[in-house]
Structure 1
Amino acid sequence: MSDRLLSPSRPSSAVRAPLVFGGLPEAEGWERVPITPRDRVHFRVDRDLPLEEFRTDAPDGVTVSYDQGDGLYRVDGAPGSASVLADWVKAWCARHGASTVGLRAETDVRRRSPRDLPPAFLADLCRHYGPVSLKRLQRNMSTIRLHLPDPDDLGQQVYEWVLKAVSQYDETKGVPFGAFLATQLSKWVHDLGRNAHGRTAADTEHKQQKAIAAFIAEHQRRPSEKELAAFMGQSVATLRRNSQTVATLNGLRNLQSLDGGPDTAEVLLPDSSEAPDEIMGEAEQTLLSHALTAACAPDPDARRDQRAGQPNVLGWATWYLTTWGGRTKTQLSNELNTSVRNMNVYADRVEKALKDRLAELAD
């Protein structure tokens, strides 16, 4: 996985030969395209931008990238240009009827563009490290399958992670690329849950699962509530509150209609002339809940790597918990560790789809 030498006590014949990609030794490939500093502006928008026009209008020397899965735009420019770029982005979006969400200017970001590497070098590197990464991720597969159940989607995600590591790898630190990639993979697997369900909820679930696994390894049985609280150094009340967060997270994952076609399930309504008012009230709530869940399902016409092709879990949680759960958006923002603006972006997507579905129900 790297060009590190084996132990010095081994015979010289045990030295691992450097990896060669596209006719270049790996170290020489990094030297040809070193990592460089830049200023970067991250942002999302409340509607899709005409990306090619945005790139064409960008100032000279500025590059634009777009992460379809996260709906995140990145604008890179020369060091010292962060504030100017941020103002330009806001003005350009405003002229095109879009509002920026969560705009953040960052200075001294060290990155390389994978496309600057020799094409044969990059292709061979991905062919080598893709299967290596899949093998390394076997220990995380139970978590990965919650978010990427399709093997084709997993394969695509792994190669995206390899390219992400290529862009972030700093060859001057003396750490082999293979070792750097291995450490980042576990972090990025954890980020799958954080991105989909909110940072606090995903982190809470991760800590609880690690504590339960450690307790089982030590005692060969699952802990009781009091034992788990003591093991984690928490009060029982804190553990119960966190357990409720985890239960909510798992409940969201298990909403089958978010991934399956909710419209294929028939909803039976009682005859309003025969049913009492309270039953009709429950039926109306069922219809509304069904419409909300259906509005959060993936768009069947969108690709899986697009935001519209993913279940809109954050939008569902925002609508459901503020409508029936007695929560405010500020409370949810604190619990899920995401901004109210970000919640509004996902909730607005729900609103557009929900209006259409409620109109159909009214007919």
Structure 2
Amino acid sequence: MTDHAPSSTATDTPGRIRPPLVFGGIPEAEGWALAPITPRDRVHFRVDHELPLAEFRSDLPDGVTATYDQGDGLYRVDGACGSAAVLADWIRAWTTRHGASTIGLRAETGVRRRAPRDLPADFLNDLCRHYGPVSLKRLQRNMSTIRLHLPDPDDLGQQVYEWVLKAVAQYDETKGVPFGAFLATQLSKWVHDLGRNAHGRTAADTEHKQQKAIAAFITEHQRRPSEKELAAYMGQSVATLRRNSQTVATLNGLRNLQSLDGGPDATEILLPDSSEAPDEIMGEAEQTLLSHALTAACAPDPEARRDQRAGQPNVLGWATWYLTTWGGQTKTQLSQDLNTSVRNMNVYADRVEQAMKQRLAELVD
């Protein structure tokens, strides 16, 4: 429970004295000093299939730690300053020996972080109890976006506390910015990352940049820009803008998918046996039928509420299935193009597979 201690300092404005926050019996500023943020070298990477994390950690050099973001499929390895290049080579060699390939491996030097577990337990617990509800209130303005990705209130609550802990790890108390202000600025960025994970970083970022440029142009000129004007405004060629616009149009089209149920009456459609469909589906069914089933499997469930996951189109699942089945791309290639993890793609693709199995079984019956 958060306590409030009397303020030891006064301000020039009467009536605006705010007592410092106290967590676990420790004033907030003193708590950060107990576990100051420190520099380290960090290597970020993903792999084409999940690593045996316990074995990976046990093999790490002394003083080196590893964390794994399961939702994003991102590994982070931290070592002493000056060790980034050596750690990157070590990671490549270790993953190769274990039959894996790294994706987007990136080494950073002088990364300033703290481990939340280094803070006193009571201090950290009370801090989370205080800033969790504060964060939820701050996120009300983003709730329509958040509900597209986190429709379950329990999932949202868990995500908010994960974001608070992430802010604790990144907060640099030496810069003089209050933790609450730092947390508020980061929350908006992390909400945007939800869309990146679901739709692919490249597509989501392209859409975001185009919308910002269009809004800025309208504010400046009181009208929408032409294609040539928008390209010049964004510093791109018209060809690049057209290519990016196609990506945005595809993304928006997939978001608005409606079920394609309902072919012509009395049309007989031959389907493979439902027991064979999971393994032999590509060899037994016509591609047009599969394309129809895929699109319908990714469309929103008309019986689900809009704030439920089933009530939203499965964009990343559709892209994963379509581009790896008919687009000639491997999941590793697609992962690099979309800048998301193979694991994240598999989560959404598995939802598609379950829906397709159900649809094919229903049609066979």
What's the TM-score once normalised by structure 1's chain length? 0.70
Q: 1:133 — aligned with what?
A: 135
Match of 2:19 in 1: 17
State whether structure 2 residue 75 is matched by structure 1 residue 73.
yes
Whether 2:339 is the aligned partner of 1:338: answer yes
Deviates most, 154-163 or 82-91: 82-91
Contact 1:42–1:74, Cα closer than 8 Å, also in 2: yes
Q: What is the rounded CA distance, in whole Å, between the counterparts of 2:156 and 2:41 in structure 1?
A: 31
* Unaligned stretches of 5+ residues in structure 2: 271-284, 300-312
Distance 1:178 1:251, change over 3 A: same
Residue of structure 2 equivalent to 1:168: 170
In 2, distance between residues paired with 1:10 and 1:175?
20
Distance 2:346 2:10 in 1: 56
Partner of 2:278: none
Q: Are the counterparts in 2 of residues 318 and 343 from structure 1 also a CA contact under 8 Å?
A: no
Contact 1:146–1:253 at 8 Å: present in 2 too?
no
The change in CA–CA distance for 1:331 and 1:43 in structure 2 (over 3 A counts) is closer
1:96 and 2:98 correspond: yes
Aligned twin of 2:204: 202
2:63 to 61, 65, 70: 61
Alignment of 1:139-150 (within 5 A): 139-150=141-152
When residues 296 and 32 of structure 1 are mapped into structure 2, their CA distance, relative to the original with a 3 A threshold, is farther
Q: Are 1:315 and 1:343, in contact at CA under 8 Å, matched by a contact in 2? A: no
Kindly provide the CA deviation profile for residues 262-281 of structure 1, in whole angstroms up to 9, marking residues without a partner as x.
xxx999994479xxxxxxxx
Give me the whole-angstrom Cα distance separating, in 1, the residues matched to 2:92 and 2:158: 32
> Which residue does the alignment assign to 1:35?
37
Deviation at 1:121, TM superposition (A): 0.6
Q: What is the aligned partner in structure 2 of residue 287 from structure 1?
A: 289
Of 124, 127, 137, the residue aligned with 2:126 is: 124
Percent pairwise identity: 75
The farther-off stretch of 48-57 and 62-71 is: 48-57
Q: CA offsets per residue over residues 189-226 of structure 1, 9 Å max, x none?
A: 1122223323342234334545676799999x9x6675
Structure 2 Cα separation of the partners of residues 7 and 217 of structure 1: 43
Superposition deviation, residue 290 in structure 1: 5.5
Structure 1 CA distance, aligned partners of 2:344 and 2:150?
A: 23
Preserved CA contact (<8 Å) 1:293 1:316? yes
Q: Matches of 1:92 and 1:40 in 2, distance apart?
A: 17
Contact 1:211 1:231 in 2 (8 A): no
2:49 aligned partner, one-letter code = R
Other-structure match for 1:115? 117
For the residues of structure 2 that align with 1:228 and 1:151, how far apart are their CA atoms? 44
Change (3 A) 1:39 1:218: closer
Q: Is the 8 A contact 1:6 1:16 kept in 2?
A: no
The separation in 1 between residues aligned to 2:246 and 2:31, in whole angstroms, is 50
**Which of the numbers 223, 247, 250 marks the counterpart of 2:249?**
247
Between 245-254 and 79-88, report the one with greater CA deviation: 245-254
User: Which deviates more, 126-135 or 95-104?
Assistant: 95-104
Greater Cα shift, 200-209 or 18-27: 200-209
Does the 8 Å CA contact 2:49/2:343 hold for their aligned counterparts? no
What is the TM-score normalised by the length of structure 2? Answer: 0.70
Q: Could you tell me whether the CA contact under 8 Å between 1:225 and 1:236 is conserved in 2?
A: no
Contact 2:88/2:107, CA 8 A, preserved across alignment: yes
Alignment CA distance shift 1:206-1:269 (3 Å): farther
Whether contact under 8 Å (2:47, 2:342) holds in the other structure is no
Displacement after TM superposition at 1:179 (Å): 0.8
Cα distance, 1:326 vs structure 2: 9.3
User: What pairs up with 1:188-199 in 2 under 5 angstroms?
Assistant: 188-199=190-201
- Within the alignment, does 1:155 sit opposite 2:157 as a pair? yes
C-alpha separation between the residues in 2 aligned to 1:345 and 1:130?
Answer: 26
What's the secondary structure of 2:49's corresponding residue? coil
Q: Counterparts of 1:173 and 1:333 in 2: how far apart (Å)?
A: 36
Letter aligned with residue 198 of structure 2:
A
Q: 1:247 to 1:55 in 2, by over 3 A?
A: same
Amino acid corresponding to residue 87 of structure 1 in structure 2: D
Aligned equivalents of 1:86, 1:312: Cα separation in 2: 35
